Chains A and B, each alone.
Chain A
Amino acid sequence: QSVLTQPPSASGTPGQRVTISCSGGSSNIGSNTVNWYQQLPGTAPKLLIYTNNQRPSGVPDRFSGSKSGTSASLAISGLQSGDEADYYCAAWDDSLFGWVFGGGTKLTVL
């Protein structure tokens, strides 16, 4: 049972826009920033979005993040087949004094 809640799956067709939600509580998303990770099959996670809506160098602007209250979302526009991956949200938890993750969302490009 993950501390942050994500839908287990999402899908879209090439070129479409999809969003993935992440719900938490007052001790994590409610009081800290949210990060998103992309994990391609057989590889380590890669930082995709940090501090709610910032993209590391090299991440296309097709990826965007937002946060409101105790929830956050990741949006992917202009969907491509290469975006098929698992996506995880994460935040620091002030009560647990550690990082907490969502259960992950498997994105399928139809």
Chain B
Amino acid sequence: QVQLVQSGAEVKKPGSSVKVSCKASGGTFRSYGINWVRQAPGQGLEWMGRIIPILGGANYAQKFQGRVTIIADKSTNTAYMELSSLRSEDTAVYYCAKDGGVGAAAIDYWGQGTLVTV
């Protein structure tokens, strides 16, 4: 059973950056995919990007290219998502979510979410 535990809520000023962590337990962290998905108030789910720790590099949704950075620390089984140049429209709950890695069929586990208020 995989568990994803995220860092706490953040309040940020416009133009600043936020970094959210996601610590994983269970499964093989290095080989599965860690995704970041956000949900603005009253809105749907929006995929931001993904990293497979064993492969290293992340890929990002075009909308967030240049503003988001996703990294993974294999030594602590923790993934991070940093979003820069924050604006009010970035106010949302940010989720980390695991999939099976290369060729994954589904996102199967979700963190509890981190509210970021800009």
Q: How many residues of A contact B (CB 8 A)?
A: 23
Q: How many residues of B contact A (CB 8 A)?
A: 25
Binds A, one of B8-16, B45-53, B78-86: B45-53
* Chain B at the A interface: SS class: strand
Task: Flag A66-110 by CB within 8 Å of B: 1 or 0 each.
Answer: 000000000000000000000010101000111111111000000
Tell whether A56 is near chain B: CB-to-CB under 8 Å. Answer: yes
Tell whether B113 is near chain A: CB-to-CB under 8 Å. Answer: yes
- Chain A interface (Cβ within 8 Å of chain B)? 2, 33, 35, 37, 44-47, 50-51, 56, 88, 90, 92, 96-104
Given A33-B105, A45-B110, A50-B108, 6 additional A-B pairs, CB 8 A = A44-B111, A92-B104, A96-B62, A99-B37, A99-B47, A101-B45
